[in-house]
Amino acid sequence: MSPDADPTTKIALDAPIVQLAGVGSQIGARFAYLGLRTVGDLLNHLPIRYEIEVAEAAVTEAKEATELAEASVTRTVRGEIQKVRHVPSRRPRIEAILADESGTIRLIWFNAPWLMKRIHPGIRGIAKGRAKLRGGYLEMVNPVWESLAEDDQIPTRSGRLRPIYSASEELPTARIEKVMASVLNPALASVVDLIRPEILARRGLVSLRDAYRMVHAPHDAIEAERGRMRLAYDELLCLQLAMEMRRWQVRHSMSAPALVLTRAIEEKILARIPFALTQSQQQVCKEISTDLANTIPMNRLLQGDVGSGKTAVAVHAMLTAIAHGHQAVLLAPTEILAEQHLRTVEEMLQGSRVRVAGMTGSLRTADRAIVLNGLASGDFDLAVGTHALLGDEVRFKSLALAIIDEQHRFGVEQRAALRAKGSTPNQVPHTLVMTATPIPRTLALSFFGDLDVSSLRGLLPGRTAPTTRVMPSNRAPEVYAWLKTRIDRGEQAFVVVPAIEESELGLKDVASHAKSLAEGPLHGCRIGQLHGQMKSSEGDRVMEEFRAGRIDVLVSTIIIEVGVDVPNATVMVIEHADRFGLAQLHQLRGRVGRGGKPGYCVLIGDAPSDIAQGRFDAIAKTTDGFEIAELDLKLRGPGEFFGARQSGLPPLHVADLTRDFSLLGEAKSDAQSWIGMSGDLTELRDLPLRRRVLGLYGAALGLSDIG
């Protein structure tokens, strides 16, 4: 706590801001607009940055200091406005003379006519800005102006680190700071620290009260960072406690069928896979088989680069469940990918006794009824489909394994919905989630921390990474001239654009670009179109024609990012490549060169920033999806990694995963130890923390409030 805090003064954290002295209903409504309704909300409204505020000086002192300085320097002066005038010109300006007891300074604002209503002779205030001498007279251009009311007794400000808050036009950061300063110490008296003192001591972290004081009223930048680190640790610890609670509850309150992989079963499974598994695939299959053999439900993430062979691993696991007389389900995010998985599985299992069903949203009513009845009765052993398999009407006779492909397209709610389809209330299926977008370690710990992780590395035999080239937009004609030569050889190509329809942004869209290519450089080629707003049946038809070779070039949005397999497609052209993330670009180029012929990826775009240029350099330099994932996280941040937050978890407000990785590791270690000692945070002294964790993550992770 701040050393000058009054221990006898205390204000409840749930006290409404509107009831604070000097706030009232009108100002309170402005706080509410920012989502700040209670003192606790205000305390957690942390500064977004800090500014160094120069100590106030008399006008004469400021002039003398400026004379000695080699360049213009930020100064802060207060006084009374003597004169104001508006000067019309090519650059209209407002000039004011501010006076204190020692002298006067000229204040100049350009293009700010609204200030004439706020600044007038006789008004008192504080001006802060870059000061310089002009003709022997001290002046500030475009200074920050803070009016002082008659009753404002703000003491002369010394140099300090000033917090800058996320604000609004009606509620500026200065007003938020003023209210915060008035309530900070009384609010700190109500702060309760939920973290055990021995953990704080071990990690060298300050108390929660000190942390809030340090971020809102820091003495220096070091203090501000110490306070931020404590609050970031709390955020990360609560998240990791939630993940560990999830693991604990799965292990102690749920069970799954034991699916032992005997030698006889494995021989039959391997006979169904039309190629020898790579060493990496064998290792991952072993990890999954070990999980499946237990009654503790498997909860595993399988991440593999493009072309590493995840589908074969999935089939291996599903056939293990089916060999024991149970059912398995494979869930895909799009109908295109679901249909492709269905074809692959049916080809592998052709001639076997395994009964396979496909289920998507476009399935006809009569066929849907057959699938629903077959899954409920056990007539179907394996189901492949989309979100349609999550419906309440879908019932399984004995679901033992649920596999979700492209995990980041689904939220934790979908995983929970699949778990709920077990044959008895306390029995759930083993769960395997897969992604072809390798997940950086920080995100894996943060958003998939309740999962064990397996990684497939390397490409399948016969697969080679596409050659990648980056071309500026003014050389696009050369790219399409070259593409025409590949089409003339009988090869096929994808052309990806960022927009479905024309817009004022000037981005290439599917229809216009397809027409432009057909009338220009690709005249005579058969060009198809595909995007997410097409009916499923129409999209399937286009994709089937492309796969069958009746379309030479498919102009598409990023809908073909994952899973689409067209062996004869050898070229991927990506327009406006600077608008895509590294992981997306890597996924897109993985769509070509899958049939034995060399693949080529051409990125067309102009880097508008260093970040965009960094993406271009990285994608051209490496084909390792795991390395690309880490680079993408570093360049774009966790909020953009998947294109949108799909985890279903509340966002982190304080912790920065790109800079707080060591803190995340400490929080995970502490959470594991804590749950190891406390079980489910049900010890009496841990109940307040338990309530907080459940409030934050209970719904998203399906945590039960037992105990």
Q: Which residue has the tokens 């697969």?
A: 463
Q: Are 143 and 128 in contact (CB under 8 A)?
A: yes
- Is 584 exposed, middle or buried (CB count within 10 Å of its CB: 0-12, 13-18, 19+)? buried
Give me the helix-helix angle, 221-253 and 661-678, nearest 10°: 40
- The DSSP output letter for 499 is B
Cα–Cα distance list, 244 to 236, 651, 690 (Å): 12, 18, 12
pLDDT of res. 44: 96
Contacts of residue 520, defined as CB under 8 A and 6 or more positions apart, other chains included, come to 480
* Token pair of 169 as six digits: 């036009």
User: Which of 102, 105, 95 lies closest to 126, judged by CA?
Assistant: 105
Q: What share of the chain is helix, strand, coil (3-state, %, to 5)?
A: 45, 20, 40
Give the largest CA-CA distance in the chain. Answer: 99
Q: What are phi and psi of 219, to 5 degrees?
A: -75, -30
382 by DSSP, 3-state: which? strand
Hey, how many other C-beta atoms are within 10 angstroms of the C-beta on 484?
19
Q: Are 488 and 616 in contact (CB under 8 A)?
A: no
- Report the distance separating Cα 480 and Cα 474, nearest Å: 12
Q: Which residues on neighbouring strands pair with residue 218, listed in sequence order?
A: none
- Is 624 exposed, middle or buried (CB count within 10 Å of its CB: 0-12, 13-18, 19+)? middle
Q: Using alpha carbons only, what angle is made at residue 681 by residues 679 and 682, rounded to the nearest 5 degrees?
A: 90
Q: Which amino acid is it at 227?
A: G
Domain edges within the chain? 55-158, 263-293+309-435, 467-622
Q: Are strands 137-141 and 160-164 parallel, antiparallel or unpaired?
A: unpaired
The upper half-sphere exposure of residue 597, i.e. CA atoms within 13 Å in the direction of its Cβ, equals: 16
Q: Are strands 104-110 and 93-99 parallel, antiparallel or unpaired?
A: antiparallel
Q: First and final CA of the chain: distance in angstroms?
A: 34
- Is 527 exposed, middle or buried (CB count within 10 Å of its CB: 0-12, 13-18, 19+)? buried
Contacts of residue 616, defined as CB under 8 A and 6 or more positions apart, other chains included, come to 470, 577, 578, 603, 605, 607
Fold matches, 55-158 and 263-293+309-435? no
CATH superfamily of 467-622: P-loop containing nucleotide triphosphate hydrolases (3.40.50.300)
Q: Are 438 and 303 in contact (CB under 8 A)?
A: yes
User: Which of 255, 262, 394, 270 lies closest to 324, judged by CA?
Assistant: 262
pTM of the model: 0.69
Q: Are 573 and 399 in contact (CB under 8 A)?
A: no
DSSP H/E element including 368: helix 365-377
Q: Are 212 and 227 in contact (CB under 8 A)?
A: yes
Buried b (16+ CB within 10 A) or exposed e, 248-281: bbbeeebbbbebebeeebbeebbebbeeebbebb
Taking phi over 0 as left and psi of -120 to 50 as alpha, with beta for the rest, 89 belongs to beta
* Token pair of 171 as six digits: 């509620």
- Report the distance separating Cα 206 and Cα 214, nearest Å: 10
Taking phi over 0 as left and psi of -120 to 50 as alpha, with beta for the rest, 127 belongs to beta
pLDDT of res. 650: 73
- Is 555 exposed, middle or buried (CB count within 10 Å of its CB: 0-12, 13-18, 19+)? buried
Question: What's the fold here for domain 263-293+309-435?
Answer: Rossmann fold (3.40.50)
Q: What is the CA radius of gyration of the chain?
A: 32
pLDDT of res. 2: 42
Q: Which residue has the tokens 């907080």?
A: 692
Rounded to the nearest angstrom, the gap between the alpha carbon of residue 657 and the centroid of all alpha carbons in its chain is 10
Contacts of residue 89, defined as CB under 8 A and 6 or more positions apart, other chains included, come to none
Say yes or no: domain 55-158 is CATH 2.40.50.140. Answer: yes
Cα–Cα distance list, 558 to 53, 571, 574, 576 (Å): 48, 15, 10, 12
CA dihedral (695, 697, 698, 701) in degrees, to 10, reads 170
Q: Which residue has the tokens 């492709």?
A: 340
pLDDT of res. 159: 63
Q: What are phi and psi of 169, to 5 degrees?
A: -65, -35
- Report the distance separating Cα 19 and Cα 23, nearest Å: 7
The upper half-sphere exposure of residue 466, i.e. CA atoms within 13 Å in the direction of its Cβ, equals: 30
Please give the average pLDDT of every successive group of 10 residues along the chain, which has 707 residues: 52 93 90 95 94 80 80 81 90 92 92 85 89 88 85 64 89 91 94 93 96 95 95 94 86 89 94 89 96 94 82 94 96 85 90 91 88 94 92 91 77 69 78 83 72 82 82 94 95 93 82 94 94 84 90 91 79 91 84 85 86 80 80 66 50 84 90 86 89 86 57
Taking phi over 0 as left and psi of -120 to 50 as alpha, with beta for the rest, 702 belongs to left
User: Which of 224, 191, 255, 253 lies closest to 5, judged by CA?
Assistant: 191
Q: Which amino acid is it at 241?
A: L
